[in-house]
Chain A
Amino acid sequence: MADPALEPTMTAREAIVTALTQVTDVTTLAVIAASAVYGIFVGAIPGLTATMAVALLVPLTFFLSDVQAIAAIVTTVTCSIFAGDIPATLVRIPGTPASAAYASDAYSLTQRGRHLEPLSVSLVFSVIGGLFGTVVLAAAAPQLARLAGEFTSYENFWLYALGLTCAAIVSHDSRLKGALALLVGMLLATVGLGTDYSVPRLTFGSDHLITGINFIPAMIGLFGISEVLRNVLGLSDRDDAGDMRPAVADGAAKGREPGFSVRRLARERWLSILRSSSIGSVIGMLPGAGADIAAWIAYAVSKRLSPNPKEYGSGSLEGIGDATGANNAALGSAWIPALVFGIPGDSVTAIAIGVLLMKNITPGPKIFDTTDNPEQAVLAFAIYAVFIVANLLLIPIGWFAIHGGSLLIRVPRRILLPVIVLFCLIGSYAMNASYFDVWVMLVMGVLGFVLEAFRVPLGPVVLGIILGGELEHRFIQSITKDASAGAFLGSPISVVLASLILLLWVAPSISAMWRKLRERDA
Chain B
Amino acid sequence: MVAVCCAMVCLTGCNEPSSYPNRPITLICPWGAGGGTDAVSRQIAAHLETELGVPVGVVNATGGKGVTGHNRGFRARPDGYTLTMATLELNMLHWNGLTDLTYHDCIPLMSVNEDYAAVFVHSDAPWETIADLEAAIRANPKTLTASGTASGGAWHLALAGWLISAGLNADDVVWVSSTGAAPSLKELMSGGVDLVCCSLPEAATQMKNGDVRALGVMSPQPVPGFEDVPTFVDAGYDWTLGGWRGLAVPRGTPADVVKTLTNALDRVTSGETTILVGASQVDGEVVRRRQTFPQFMEEQGYDNTRRGPEEFQRLLAERDEQLGALLTSDVMRSVNRDRFNAATFPNALLAAIGAVLVLLVVQRGLRRSGSASESPIENASLRRRSVSRKGVIACTLFVLAIAVYPLAAETVGFVILSAALLGLMLWSLGNRIPTCAAVTLVVVPIAYQFFAGVLRVPLPRGWWGW
A residues whose Cβ falls under 8 Å from a Cβ of B: 42, 48, 51-52, 55-56, 58-59, 62-66, 108, 111, 149-153, 173-174, 176-177, 179-180, 183-184, 186-187, 190, 192-202, 207, 210-212, 214, 225, 228-230, 232-237, 240, 287-288, 314, 337, 341-344, 347, 350-351, 353-354, 357-360, 362-366, 414-415, 417-419, 421-423, 425-426, 429-430, 432-436, 438-439, 441-442, 445-446, 452-453, 455, 472-473, 476-477, 479-481
A residues near B205, Cβ cutoff 8 Å: 341-342, 353, 357, 362-364
Q: Please determine whether B182 and A350 come into contact, CB atoms closer than 8 angstroms.
A: yes
Q: Does B39 contact A (CB under 8 A)?
A: yes
Interface residues of B in 367-405 (CB under 8 A from A): 377-379, 381-382, 385-388, 390-392, 394-395, 398-399, 401-403, 405
Knowing A198-B152, A415-B431, say if A176 contacts B33 (CB, 8 Å): no
Any chain A CB within 8 A of the CB of B192?
yes
The one of A42, A197, A236, A435 in contact with B455, judged by C-beta atoms closer than 8 angstroms, is A42
Cα A343 to Cα B174 with chains together (Å): 24
Q: Which residues of A contact B402 (CB under 8 A)?
A: 225, 421, 425, 438, 441-442, 445
Docked-complex contact A288 and B394, CB < 8 angstroms: no
Q: Is residue B10 contacting chain A, with contact meaning CB distance below 8 A?
A: no
Cβ-defined contact, B457 with A433, below 8 A: yes
B145 CB within 8 Å of chain A: yes
Asked whether B385 lies within 8 Å of A197 as measured between CB atoms, the reply is: no
Tell me how far the C-beta of A231 lies from the nearest C-beta in chain B, rounded to whole angstroms: 9
For residue B130, CB closer than 8 A to chain A, the reply is: no
Q: Which residue of A lies closest to B384 (CB)?
A: A234
B399 touching A229, Cβ below 8 Å: yes
A-B contact pairs, 27 of them (CB 8 A): A52-B33, A108-B379, A152-B191, A186-B349, A195-B151, A210-B67, A211-B62, A232-B391, A233-B394, A234-B386, A234-B391, A236-B390, A237-B388, A288-B183, A347-B33, A350-B35, A350-B182, A353-B34, A358-B296, A363-B205, A421-B422, A425-B405, A439-B406, A472-B345, A477-B178, A479-B340, A481-B145
Q: Are A232 and B193 in contact, with the CB atoms below 8 A?
A: no
**Given contact pairs A149-B190, A347-B33, A187 touches B426 in the complex (Cβ within 8 A):** no
| B350 and chain A: residue at smallest CB distance | A187
Smallest CB-CB separation from B101: which chain A residue?
A207
Q: Is B433 an interface residue (CB 8 A)?
A: no
For B201, give the chain A residue with the smallest CB separation: A357
Other 15 A-B pairs with CB < 8 A, given A198-B96, A473-B177, A480-B145: A152-B187, A174-B363, A183-B352, A210-B68, A211-B64, A230-B382, A234-B385, A343-B185, A347-B33, A358-B296, A359-B277, A415-B429, A421-B425, A426-B447, A480-B177
Q: For the complex, what is the distance from the CA of A51 to the CA of B35, rounded to whole Å?
A: 13
Q: Which residues of B contact A439 (CB under 8 A)?
A: 403, 406
Q: Does B72 contact A (CB under 8 A)?
A: yes
| Interchain nearest-CB distance for B171 vs A (Å) | 12
Q: A64 to nearest B CB, angstroms?
A: 7
Q: Mark B165-180, 1 if CB is under 8 A from A, else 0.
A: 0000000001111110
Residues of A within 8 A of B406 (CB): 435-436, 438-439
Contact A481 B174 (CB under 8 A): yes
B139: CB under 8 A from chain A? Answer: no
Q: How far is the CA of A237 from the CA of B386 in the complex (A)?
A: 11
The answer to whether A343 touches B390 (Cβ under 8 A) is no
Measured in the bound complex, the distance between the Cα atoms of B56 and A286 in whole Å is 34
* B275 located at the interface, meaning its Cβ lies under 8 Å from any Cβ of chain A in the complex: yes
Interface size class on chain B is 35 or more
Binds A, one of B222-230, B238-246, B354-362: B354-362
A residues within 8 A CB of B350?
187
CA distance A273 to B295 in the complex (A): 48
B78 part of interface (Cβ distance < 8 Å): no
Residues of B within 8 A of A236 (CB): 386, 388, 390-391
Q: In the complex the two chains form, is B398's CB within 8 Å of A232's CB?
A: yes
- Taking CB atoms, residues of chain B closer than 8 Å to A195 are 65, 150-151, 177-179
- B117 interface residue (CB < 8 Å to A): no
- Give 8 closest A-B pairs by Cβ, nearest first: A350-B34, A342-B205, A152-B192, A418-B425, A211-B63, A435-B406, A414-B429, A364-B209
Q: Mark B415-427, 1 if CB is under 8 A from A, else 0.
A: 0001001100110
| CB–CB A149/B386 < 8 A | no
| Minimum distance in angstroms from B139 CB to a CB of chain A | 19
Task: Encode B115-143 as 1/0 by CB contact (under 8 A) with A.
Answer: 00000000000000000000000000000
In angstroms, how far is the closest chain A Cβ from the Cβ of B203? 9
* B399 partner, pick from A63, A344, A442, beta carbons under 8 A: A442
Q: Across the interface, which residues of B come within 8 angstroms of A202, CB to CB?
A: 346
B231: interface (CB < 8 Å): no
CB distance from B100 to the nearest CB of A (A): 10
The contact of B342 among A197, A359, A425, by CB within 8 Å, is A197
- Asked whether A212 and B63 contact (CB < 8 A) given A198-B336, A415-B426, A421-B402, the answer is yes
Residues of A within 8 A of B463 (CB): none
B8 close to chain A: CB less than 8 A: no
Which residues of chain A are within 8 angstroms of B197 by Cβ–Cβ distance? none
Is B182 within 8 A of A197, CB to CB? no
Determine if B280 is an interface residue (Cβ-Cβ < 8 Å): yes
Asked if B435 CB lies within 8 Å of chain A CBs, one says yes
Smallest Cβ distance from A58 to chain B, in angstroms?
Answer: 6
> Which residues from chain B contact A111 at a C-beta distance below 8 Å?
381
B1 at the interface (CB under 8 A from A): no
What's the least CB distance linking A160 to chain B, in Å?
Answer: 13
Identity of the chain A residue whose Cβ is nearest the Cβ of B406 in the assembled complex: A435
Q: Given A198-B96, A354-B39: A344 and B34 within 8 A (CB)?
A: yes
Q: A362-B205, A425-B405 are in contact. Are A453 and B447 (CB under 8 A)?
A: no
Given B34, B399, B451, which contacts A446 in the complex, CB threshold below 8 Å? B399
Nearest chain A residue, comparing its CB with the CB of B375: A173
B356: nearest residue on chain A (CB-CB)? A180
Check if B461 is an interface residue, CB within 8 A of chain A.
Answer: no
Instruction: Check B458 for interface membership: any CB of A closer than 8 A.
Output: yes
Residues in B with CB closer than 8 Å to A228 are 398
Question: How far, in whole Å, are A196 and B193 apart by their CA atoms in the complex?
Answer: 16
> Using Cβ atoms and an 8 Å threshold, which residues of chain A touch B447?
422-423, 426
Chain A residues whose CB sits within 8 angstroms of the CB of B42 once the complex forms: 55, 58-59
Q: Are B279 and A212 in contact (CB under 8 A)?
A: no
Minimum CB–CB distance from B165 to chain A (whole Å) comes to: 23
- B429 pairs with A426, CB closer than 8 A: no
B61 at the binding interface (Cβ < 8 Å): yes
For A186, the closest partner residue in chain B by CB is B349
B382 and A452 form a contact (CB under 8 A): yes
- CB proximity of B75 to chain A, nearest CB, Å: 9
Which A residues are in CB contact (< 8 Å) with B177?
A: 195-196, 473, 476-477, 480
Whether the Cβ atoms of A190 and B345 lie closer than 8 Å is yes
A365 and B209 contact, Cβ closer than 8 Å, known pairs A197-B342, A414-B429: yes
